[in-house]
Structure 1
């Protein structure tokens, strides 16, 4: 089994904090999710997560005007510069302070940073290959100017269209106008007059006006005019920036949290603390509409380039919305779980992932697009477990509200609800592979409840455990049910057998999780002491054991007195699952590590780190002694009492509560993994963690993945080789060097899709079997994937079928011997062939229908009144012959009906 799984996507969380950002073309939205960045493609309806990760949560992100450089800054002022198109990290840098505002100049040559109350101008790093000077850039970040003038934190930056001037808005109740370089006759100007902190400041499209928005809902319009005497209308003072108009949003006690201005259309969007947003037309201040898009305050808003789409982010509920204001419709509406996720499961086809959480919601995520398809809210308490029936699209969930619910994922409805005779909270769940019975265990009862899915009736209560049932699992053949309990035993039940008794398998600690191997011949159990134990199902003999305490332990809490290696809470596996082939087992717990073991040898194959985000508790191996003060850890000190506003000083947290309370979240959530699951194909696995739903996969789709590349392989050399092959083929000379094959292999090594497609379509059909037969086997997986994709995207039907036939004729035995390795590629080819067959089927059915219609019409007959019926026309040739027979020798004819 392959073990080189890599992080591929982050689902389950769409927005945490920070600013949202549209790409320059306005089709993609960038959202900071913890210490990572997720990109939502709003046109193709897909999402992906960039591969890099910060050490703390991201505060600010900004794209260069060309859209090729992405600059992200975390809470500590550490920045990562990324080539956004290639998704490659270029440089790391520290601004030595928390960055509150960030903006690239329209020219792209500079960017401005607000570090506390200081304003800094930096030169934009040049991307490799675009700098015409030919000089090597040794310092990507070069400071241009460092200015001071504000007395409090800078909250917003805005450049003029010519990149010469800059507007800053600050908490010190003022806005200021700066120049990038010293200008003759220009002095930095302060715009004072607001009664609360200025949230944003903007230039108008013609640069003649300035708009400033303050936290108390005031909008001031400034113009560069001289003061005039109202009686004589003569200038009595020199020209300067003055307030010419004051407007107010009048949202009662709600405050302005964020704003965005689209200068070409004079559109102002304002987000308020009560979940409303307002859309205004400036300078007349006409209100277009005011709508509620969130249950909590709106933390960030942005507008795309055309001014049609508005993006809103709400950090409290993790909401991300994209609103088209002209049609008043949602382009994107996504929300993660409000609280921690408890369990997850892959659908049988591997295309969907279902997650459940403490917020009582059940969410279905599409693996390919990364979007949430549907959310079920019928449960009234935390949902603790979920399981799919092996056949059909039926999902079962268990909840602390005392119900087991069955969901139809085709019609998206709850069609059955199971309850116990007495009110119980269910924490574990198992479904028979045939989907006939469902079993559940409860922390309030020692019995296992068994229901019939068809009737909804309680069939049996399996008694035998002397403690709460913590885990349940059905074997793939449906003959056995394994149950784990806090009484330190695992029991195997035969649900459909005549007897319902079982002998306990004794362990030395409480059972946390049980799992069956895919063939149903082995069962594994995880216990509180960090042990993994494996039994043979047939004779109930222990086959193996793994001590995982050293492997899973890691990470030190900010208030922990023990070292990371000695911390007691992280030394066990809360969830385990077998791989698709049954050779490995994946285990995770209240730790930052996920461990992959080989069952036969007990060897640790790989450890996956869940998160490196130090904003979470348990991600650091060593604590910084500077953060340990006499009053305790610096990260746990209550700093809200120092806030200037009353509502910010009120502490609404419940004492001692770490999860599930109705008050504010704690500032130090703990890293943990509550559930893991392998995809049915074994090509990926997912983990429900504090960060969200992490998907790890064996990546088969790379942005740039050169294979055995050397310096002689360039696009020009490949095209030159291809032209030589075409010339030789056109002249009819024998190609002893097989130049088409050489060009094809060179294109595979470079792995640029456009060049690969050009070489592929240039190969003559008669030469395809020879090229495929002589192709080295190392390129076969890539060729299979490429041909499957070409069959779906290109109209060359027969040409692609010739390639597929040649592949299986020449390498069929090799594919059969390595079917496990080639399984994803073979499935993609099968899917492409099925699509071709369905399209041809629809086409032939349509042609047959058209022929039947034409033959049912009156036809031209000769004097002999000869007629033909449909049964006599079995082919197009017979129809042609019949048309000739219907004419007389003299050519006269008349219309008659078919018999």
Structure 2
């Protein structure tokens, strides 16, 4: 815990929505068959299958790139990516204590893959393409035993490792033009590779599984076929299927006790196929590429993760996809809570808007606009529409129940619409653009009308807040200015200037003050009438403050930013009352529910976190 957060009470985290579906084999079932284990940003999440209760493993300084679980379930291992030139950490977690057992640092830039030996003696780790080494670690002593170059100089990058099911001294590595069986020579502290003979086949192997009796190695390739190799001889036994190869390659394999294979492809096809001739026995099509398959209770239940950051549950008999978790698979740009309720909130990211139920938390609606990015959104006060700002310069208005496109305003801003807000009377929209213009739009029964364009800002508008009487608004810009506008006469009433890029602004509920935050890490209070600085607080020790929201009673406000901390402040005293430590990436937006019971924060890793707000309104 940093000095900044020492002695400050911690916020209670109630739920996390998020899953990094891009991590290969990132979704795992713990051997107790009661918990799912998966990465999100810098964290590893343990989620109870029965009731969805979550626990979190914190320790990485950057995104988790691979996860492995030991056969006994006593240990979890996770590796991360880091900046080039720095060491990428491998953490071994004690599952029972939910604490760090060991931190291992040898690899550079990225840890590509991890695998435990069958009796929890050793962990083998594989570095990424900038590292290219394999290291075997002793779990008990927490020391490296030995290491080696992962592949021969004439071969490409090694992409995956898999340990034998019965022998602590044998494991397999594979990748681009390389497939090796390694034997650990403990007395001499060496690992000795044997190249497998796949004759003239030129393949890039993405995933490897070893049969339970250690007879065969099954390799999924980018070419869309599966190679079956004899582990003892290293000779190719079979390669298939000969017809109907897996489109976009085989991303992940799992072997069932009966000998059949579960196969996930880059095109989203999930199949059961025969382990002898690779003939497809069952098949289902999912959204985007399959990246993880985890086998659950008695091998009759499977959990599948995809690049779309979605998790599915399957039963072996009916083989029907049940969607159990959805989340954004890219940075969440903005979040907003439906006015007057504490039941619904909406978030937006690269190409979609999602509406969520706060308590579940469950996705109720998804609105997708392919190849576009939604920068900002707002619920109209009457709840009849969602207004949204897009990088293609358009404002889109959707019905919140059906997701139907109600209105589209073309060419709303020349350099993309960066932020949007609706007036309380639901008759007008105020929008800000990348070029610094603020525009007022009137909503008509069968269309819209541009009322006014206000030009004083010199850079992108980052935040707009409208006064409760809908006659004034305040805009915060990256040009270091916040301007209070009269949106009846369309003139500027007041301007405050600071040496910062303003990211967010809020009216105090009594509307005699505004508070701002930005890249200078300061929280500033300003007088609305004369623009004078009333107070300035040190809002963060590292990184800009990106989001801010004030409670309806005006007694508290919340901030979040690049330091990944959610902070709850006492407005009058200017002190931090509580800190939330759980985000793995920069916080992009933060909102308090109208009933002062729940706090929603979003971040650049696609995560949405729900916290218990510590200062509920007196009932």
Task: Give TM-score scaled by structure 1 length.
Answer: 0.54
Residues 534 and 502 (structure 1), Cα distance of their counterparts in 2 relative to 1, 3 Å cut = farther
Query: Could you say which residue in structure 1 is the equivalent of 2:347?
Result: 355
Residues 263 and 167 (structure 1), Cα distance of their counterparts in 2 relative to 1, 3 Å cut = farther
Pair 1:578-2:550 in alignment: yes
Q: How does 1:316-327 map to 2 (within 5 A)?
A: 318=309, 320-324=311-315, 326-327=317-318
Query: Could you say which residue in structure 2 is the equivalent of 1:264?
Result: 257
- Separation in 1, partners of 2:397, 2:9: 35
Residues 431 and 222 (structure 1), Cα distance of their counterparts in 2 relative to 1, 3 Å cut = same
Residues 259 and 605 (structure 1), Cα distance of their counterparts in 2 relative to 1, 3 Å cut = closer
- Separation in 1, partners of 2:186, 2:563: 51
SS of residue paired to 2:590: strand
Residues 446 and 149 (structure 1), Cα distance of their counterparts in 2 relative to 1, 3 Å cut = closer
Residues 592 and 417 (structure 1), Cα distance of their counterparts in 2 relative to 1, 3 Å cut = same
Q: How does 1:21-170 map to 2 (within 5 A)?
A: 21-26=28-33, 28-44=35-51, 46=52, 48=54, 50-75=56-81, 76=87, 78-84=89-95, 88-94=98-104, 96-97=106-107, 100-104=112-116, 108-115=119-126, 118=134, 120=136, 122-123=138-139, 141=142, 151=151, 153=158, 155-160=160-165, 166-170=170-174
Residues 408 and 191 (structure 1), Cα distance of their counterparts in 2 relative to 1, 3 Å cut = same
- Separation in 1, partners of 2:510, 2:95: 45
Question: CA offset at residue 551 of structure 1?
Answer: 4.2
Query: Could you say which residue in structure 2 is the equivalent of 1:505?
Result: 494
Question: CA offset at residue 303 of structure 1?
Answer: 3.2
Question: CA offset at residue 54 of structure 1?
Answer: 0.6
Question: CA offset at residue 82 of structure 1?
Answer: 3.4
Query: Could you say which residue in structure 1 is the equivalent of 2:230?
Result: 222
Q: How does 1:653-692 map to 2 (within 5 A)?
A: 672-692=586-606
- Separation in 2, partners of 1:546, 1:319: 45
- Separation in 2, partners of 1:255, 1:154: 17
- Separation in 1, partners of 2:71, 2:613: 31
Residues 266 and 578 (structure 1), Cα distance of their counterparts in 2 relative to 1, 3 Å cut = same
Asked if the contact 2:330/2:606 (under 8 Å) is kept, the reply is no
Residues 429 and 373 (structure 1), Cα distance of their counterparts in 2 relative to 1, 3 Å cut = same
- Separation in 1, partners of 2:549, 2:143: 50
- Separation in 2, partners of 1:684, 1:607: 14
- Separation in 2, partners of 1:376, 1:334: 17
Q: How does 1:614-625 map to 2 (within 5 A)?
A: none
RMSD: 4.5
SS of residue paired to 2:497: coil
Q: How many residues align?
A: 577
- Separation in 2, partners of 1:368, 1:68: 33
Residues 421 and 14 (structure 1), Cα distance of their counterparts in 2 relative to 1, 3 Å cut = closer
Question: CA offset at residue 385 of structure 1?
Answer: 1.9
- Separation in 1, partners of 2:411, 2:90: 58
Pair 1:15-2:3 in alignment: no
SS of residue paired to 1:428: strand
Query: 1:430 pairs with 415, 421, 425, which one?
Result: 421
Deviations 1:768-808 (A, max 9, x none): xxxxxxxxxxxxxxxxxxxxxxxxxxxxxxxxxxxxxxxxx
Query: 2:386 pairs with 383, 386, 395, which one?
Result: 395
SS of residue paired to 2:257: helix
- Separation in 1, partners of 2:411, 2:218: 64
Question: CA offset at residue 338 of structure 1?
Answer: 5.3
Residues 170 and 589 (structure 1), Cα distance of their counterparts in 2 relative to 1, 3 Å cut = closer
Residues 442 and 35 (structure 1), Cα distance of their counterparts in 2 relative to 1, 3 Å cut = closer
- Separation in 1, partners of 2:90, 2:609: 25
Which runs of no fewer than 5 residues in structure 2 stay unpaired? 1-7, 82-86, 128-132, 153-157
Question: CA offset at residue 80 of structure 1?
Answer: 3.1
Residues 577 and 379 (structure 1), Cα distance of their counterparts in 2 relative to 1, 3 Å cut = farther
Question: CA offset at residue 299 of structure 1?
Answer: 4.2
SS of residue paired to 2:59: coil
- Separation in 2, partners of 1:204, 1:404: 55
Question: CA offset at residue 590 of structure 1?
Answer: 6.0
Asked if the contact 2:394/2:411 (under 8 Å) is kept, the reply is no
Query: 1:461 pairs with 445, 448, 451, which one?
Result: 451
Deviations 1:710-750 (A, max 9, x none): xxxxxxxxxxxxxxxxxxxxxxxxxxxxxxxxxxxxxxxxx
Question: CA offset at residue 345 of structure 1?
Answer: 1.2
Bigger helix fraction:
1
Residues 122 and 373 (structure 1), Cα distance of their counterparts in 2 relative to 1, 3 Å cut = farther
- Separation in 2, partners of 1:112, 1:157: 10
- Separation in 1, partners of 2:372, 2:159: 43
- Separation in 2, partners of 1:176, 1:325: 32
Question: CA offset at residue 94 of structure 1?
Answer: 0.9
Query: 1:600 pairs with 572, 575, 598, which one?
Result: 572
Asked if the contact 1:114/1:154 (under 8 Å) is kept, the reply is no
Deviations 1:37-58 (A, max 9, x none): 23455554x3635141312332
Q: How does 1:488-567 map to 2 (within 5 A)?
A: 488=481, 490-493=483-486, 500=489, 504-509=493-498, 512-526=503-517, 534=525, 540-541=529-530, 545-547=534-536, 551-552=539-540, 554=542
Query: Could you say which residue in structure 2 is the equivalent of 1:481?
Result: 472
Residues 581 and 321 (structure 1), Cα distance of their counterparts in 2 relative to 1, 3 Å cut = same
Question: CA offset at residue 363 of structure 1?
Answer: 1.7
Asked if the contact 1:361/1:376 (under 8 Å) is kept, the reply is yes
Residues 599 and 214 (structure 1), Cα distance of their counterparts in 2 relative to 1, 3 Å cut = closer
Query: Could you say which residue in structure 2 is the equivalent of 1:417?
Result: 407
- Separation in 2, partners of 1:60, 1:463: 50
Query: Could you say which residue in structure 1 is the equivalent of 2:273?
Result: 280
- Separation in 1, partners of 2:136, 2:265: 29
Asked if the contact 2:441/2:451 (under 8 Å) is kept, the reply is yes
Pair 1:212-2:228 in alignment: no
Question: CA offset at residue 377 of structure 1?
Answer: 1.4
Asked if the contact 1:271/1:301 (under 8 Å) is kept, the reply is yes
- Separation in 2, partners of 1:347, 1:340: 21
SS of residue paired to 2:469: coil
Asked if the contact 1:302/1:311 (under 8 Å) is kept, the reply is yes
Question: CA offset at residue 534 of structure 1?
Answer: 4.1
Which stretch of the first structure deviates more once superposed, 512-521 or 261-270? 512-521
Pair 1:193-2:198 in alignment: yes
Higher relative contact order (CA 8 A, sep 6+): 2
Residues 113 and 502 (structure 1), Cα distance of their counterparts in 2 relative to 1, 3 Å cut = same
Deviations 1:832-871 (A, max 9, x none): xxxxxxxxxxxxxxxxxxxxxxxxxxxxxxxxxxxxxxxx
- Separation in 2, partners of 1:366, 1:247: 45
- Separation in 1, partners of 2:359, 2:96: 20
Deviations 1:129-154 (A, max 9, x none): xxxxxxxxxx5x477x7587975558
Asked if the contact 1:360/1:379 (under 8 Å) is kept, the reply is yes
Question: CA offset at residue 582 of structure 1?
Answer: 1.3
Residues 7 and 156 (structure 1), Cα distance of their counterparts in 2 relative to 1, 3 Å cut = same
Asked if the contact 1:491/1:504 (under 8 Å) is kept, the reply is yes
Question: CA offset at residue 493 of structure 1?
Answer: 3.7
SS of residue paired to 1:15: coil
SS of residue paired to 2:31: coil
